[in-house]
Amino acid sequence: MRNINGSCIAIGNFDGIHVGHDVLIRRMIDLSNETNQDSIIITFKYVRNDLKKSSMNMKYINSPYSKLEILKSYNVNEVAEIELNEVVSKYTPEQFIKLLVDSYNVKNIVVGYNFTFGHKASGNINTLKEFQDKYGYRVEEIHPVKYNGIAISSTLVRSLLTEGKIHEANTLLLNKYTIFYDELSIDFNKNIGFVDNKSSILVPPDGKYLVTAGKKEYILTIASNKNGAALIFDKRIEENKDIVFINKVS
C-alpha cells in the first residue's frame, strides 16, 4: 500500500555506484524522512544493447544484479527498475514524468545535475522543473561531487578502470571494483577464469593485478584474445568467491 504522503525518489542509471551517487541517494533518504514519504530508488533495465543511451556496446561496471543488491543495501522502502523496452524508450519526457507520477505517486524527485531522460535523452533537469507544477512534485538537483577537480561520474570510473587505474577507481566507488563469481566461467583445476566478449561486464586491461577472493590474496593476470579475457590466478582459487580488485601491479 502506497504512502498517502506520496514518495520521494532518487532516479538514475547508477552504474558503478560511486560517492556522487551516494550523496544523491542519502539526500533522497533524508528528504523522505523530512516529508514522511516513501523512499524509492529508481533505476533502469535495458532490454537490448541498442536501447542504451550509447549506441556503443558499453560495458557495465556493475552487473544489473549486483547493482540492485548494492542499492537495496540502503534499506529504502523500494528499489524499482523501469524496463526500457521498445515502448518506454520512445516516451517523450512528459510521458516519462507521467509514468513516474502514476506509478509511484511522486512528490519529490532528487537527481544529479547531468540527469537526462526520455526519447533520445531529450529531457533534463530543466524539463523536470518545467512540469513540476503541472504534476505536483518538486525537484532537487544534486551538484557534482568532484575528485581532483573533475566531476565524479560513471563515465569517469569506467574510464579509469579501462586504463587499469584500479586504485583511483576504488577511491571513487563505494565498494572496490569487483567481478562477481557468477559473471565468470572458472576452470578450478587450472585456476583460470574467462569472460566472454559478449558479456556486458567491464574487464580491466591486460596486466597483473592484486586481487582478493574470500580471505586470500592473489596475483591475477589478465590476458585478452579475440574471444574474451582470460583471468589467470597465481595459486589455487576457491569456488564461488567474488574477485575484488585492489590495485594494478604491472
Q: In this structure, which amino acid lies at residue 45? A: K
pTM of the model: 0.90
Q: Cell numbers of 152, please?
A: 565524479
The CATH architecture one would assign to domain 7-150 is 3-Layer(aba) Sandwich (3.40)
As a residue count, the chain comes to: 250
Of 83-87, 169-173, 204-208, which range is least confident? Answer: 83-87
Q: What is the pLDDT of residues 130-155, one digit of tens each?
A: 999 999 999 999 999 999 999 999 99
Q: How many CB atoms lie within 10 A of CB 143?
A: 10
Rounded Cα gap, residues 137 and 28, in angstroms:
14
Separation of alpha carbons 215 and 33, rounded Å: 38
C-alpha cell at position 165: 587505474
**Rounded to the nearest 5 degrees, what angle is found at the Cα of 26, between the Cα atoms of 117 and 200?**
50
Q: Which residue has the higher pLDDT, 50 or 119?
A: 119
The pLDDT confidence band at residue 52, using thresholds 50, 70 and 90, is very low
Between CA 102 and CA 88 the distance in angstroms is 14
Condensed to tens digits (0 to 9), the pLDDT of residues 177-192 reads 999 888 888 998 999 9
Q: How far apart (Å, rounded) are the C-alpha atoms in residues 250 and 246?
A: 13
Q: Got the DSSP string for 171-223?
A: HHBSS--EE-GGG-EEETTTTEEEEETT--B--PPSEEEEEEETTEEEEEEEE
Q: What is the pLDDT of residue 57?
A: 58
pLDDT for the residue 56: 44
Which sequence spans correspond to the domains of the chain? 7-150, 179-248
Residue recorded with cell 507544477: 133
Strand 7-11 with 106-112, pairing: parallel
| 3-state DSSP assignment of residue 13 | coil
The Cα–Cα gap between 19 and 5 comes to: 29
